[in-house]
Amino acid sequence: MASPPDQGGITPRSGLTRVLDAFAHGDPEELLSLDRLLGGLGRSAFGMFLFVAILPGFIPIPGAGGVVSGPLVMLIGLQLVAGLARPWLPRFVGRRGPRRHTLNRFRARIAPWLARLEHLVRPRLQGLAGNRAANVLTGLLLLVLGLLLALPIPMTNYIFAGLLLLFALALLERDGALLLGLWLVSAATIAGMALVSGELAQLLGEWIGRLRRA
């Protein structure tokens, strides 16, 4: 049985562009809460949650956007590892979200290439998109990528946020083929960061120290 649409008439199989279009019209200053954005999307809500979570990560200031996006991405990763059927949001997180004008500005910024990309992203190898072991692997990679995004490593915001945007598309469209490619690229990226960044362990220690003092 097909899942019912949410208030905007969106089904879980809708592309990201259609989801964003449904929330495009209205008061630009209106807060679009995560509870509202994820409503009615079923398991595909993980993809939408990830998309909204990485919006601050595209701010080109080391540590500025990542300090918000990183922990949210890690929360999504933990929930995939735990095998949740749909995202669980703490109340204070569910009530938060982007302003409509923020979502629309980002939508306009990525629309030209996102429309072309969505012609390539489609339901494929769906056993990989919904398989328990596959979800664990995706969750583990999101945990590491979220951590890397949260660290103030110069010139890496767009790299990690771009990878996570593709993960969001793959989860929304249940595209197992794209997920497979992202596993390989993410593993190579993480390995490369471990090799070239001698300061990674020091940055991690400083980041954990700031969390403890907060």
pLDDT digits (tens, 9 = 90+) for 111-152: 777 777 767 788 888 777 778 888 999 999 999 999 888 887
How many domains does the chain divide into? Answer: 1
In a domain, 135, yes or no: yes
Domain that holds residue 181: 16-213
Q: Considering the domain boundaries, does residue 10 fall inside one?
A: no
Say how far apart CA 136 and CA 23 lie, in whole Å: 31
Instruction: Assign 62 a pLDDT band (cuts: 50, 70, 90).
Output: low
Q: Which residue from 71, 14, 21, 17 is spatially nearest to 44, judged by alpha carbons?
A: 14
Residue at 68 is within a domain: yes
Domain assignment present for residue 6? The answer is no
Q: Whole-number mean pLDDT of the chain?
A: 79
Is 152 inside a domain boundary? yes
Of the ranges 74-78, 180-184, 186-190, 207-211, which one carries the lowest mean pLDDT score? 207-211
- Nearest Cα to Cα of residue 149 among 44, 76, 48: 76
Instruction: Compute the distance between CA of residue 130 and CA of residue 20 in angstroms, rounded to an integer.
Output: 23
The verdict on residue 151 lying in a domain is yes
Q: Coil, strand, or helix at residue 124?
A: strand
Residue 172 resides in a domain: yes
- In angstroms, rounded to a whole number, what is the distance separating the alpha carbons of residues 53 and 76? 9
- The verdict on residue 5 lying in a domain is no
